[in-house]
Structure 1
Amino acid sequence: MQQPGIPKHDYQQIYYRRSTALWKASLCFLFLLLCVSLLWIIVDGQAERLETIYYSIAAVLGMWLVGPLFFMFVSRLTRSPAVLLSWDDDALNTGKRKIPWSRIRKVELASPARSKWLLSASPMIVLFLKDGTRSHIQTDHLLSKKELNQAVTLLQETLQEQKQDHGLS
């Protein structure tokens, strides 16, 4: 409930749970340990010739695909505060830059896709700007589907309110 005299949207944030980053980073770490173990088996000479090929391919691919995720989760785990994005009455702060509400035309959720290097791409919030460009806010796999949808809905509602309050189109 809104208290009298307090602006409706003084300052809002979308948080992620550190526990999510922790368990995902831990899972990636275990997988990376498995990859290192496969390489150790090869180096120690315990693998047959055919196993050496399979183990080395599995280890390199595993590190290639999971390594970046591990570092992404660790960086989010160590970031303080655990805020994905924030905003006030003037602008939306993506962490890297502030985008004034007056420049934003539309907010949508983009489906994840593979990157050109076959790395996992997380769902992202897309800000369509009035100059025809887009700004992407990576969610880094830290929000559930429900949380993502709630965040996008909240941002869309806030954008509509900003348009009404300030006569933006």
Structure 2
Amino acid sequence: MKPESYVSSGSEAEHQYISYRRSTALWKGTLCLLFLLLCVTLLWIIYDEYAGQLETLYYFIAAILGMWLIGPLFFMFLFRATASSTVLLSWNDEGVHTRKQTILWNEIRKIELASPAFSKWILSASPMIALYLKDGSRRHIQTDHLFTKKERRRAIVLLQETLRKKQQQDT
């Protein structure tokens, strides 16, 4: 499928939105589940005493680290795959709508793609759309690793163009 089907928009008067493919969340969640099963298998090998002393240490560390790093991703993809709506964010003439809030266009200063970094618990943070507000604060919209680089870039460009149009209308 083309990326255009994942970043959807209608005419200016309609509600525009950016959505992800549920199948992406499903296959990435399945990969995480397989990796978690591998971690459980390593712990089972230790429990049944099939591993030597040195292997036991390696297997235990690998299993715990694997669960620590991949476990949250599995639940994130599971949540996205089973969510009732695949819309990440939407907007209309009023503002940008996320699951939690609405941000008015006249409050937004700029929109950028924030690069991922590790969290304080050394967990993977997904790329996010950053809305910089005129009061100096920021709102982040997580993309949860559900878009390719090209799809993320298209979404940012679409939002930035819409913001520019709204700012020109206000002046």
| TM tier, smaller | over 0.9
Distance 2:150 2:11 in 1: 27
Q: Does the residue aligned with 1:80 lie in a helix, a strand or coil?
A: coil
Gaps of 5+ in 2: 1-9
**1:77–1:7: structure 2 CA closer, same or farther, 3 Å change rule?**
closer
How many residues are aligned here? 162
Which of 135, 138, 149 is 2:153 aligned to? 149
- Aligned pairs (5 A) from 1:129-168: 129-167=133-171
1:3 maps to what in 2?
none
**TM-score computed with the length of structure 1 as normaliser:** 0.93
| Offset at residue 161 of structure 1 (A) | 1.1
C-alpha displacement at 1:165, in angstroms?
2.1
Matched, 1:87 2:103: no
State the SS of the aligned residue for 2:121: coil
Structure-2 change in CA distance of 1:7 and 1:145 (3 Å): closer
Where do 5+ consecutive residues of structure 1 fail to align?
1-5
**TM-score for the superposition, normalised by structure 2:** 0.91
Q: Does 1:104 align with 2:104?
A: no
Q: Deviations over 1:121-166 (max 9, x none)?
A: 1111100000000111110000110000000000001111111223
2:49 is aligned, of 13, 30, 45, to 45
In structure 2, C-alpha distance between the alignment counterparts of 1:93 and 1:115, rounded to whole Å = 26
Query: Which SS does the other structure have where 1:55 is aligned?
Result: helix
CA RMSD of aligned residues (A): 1.2
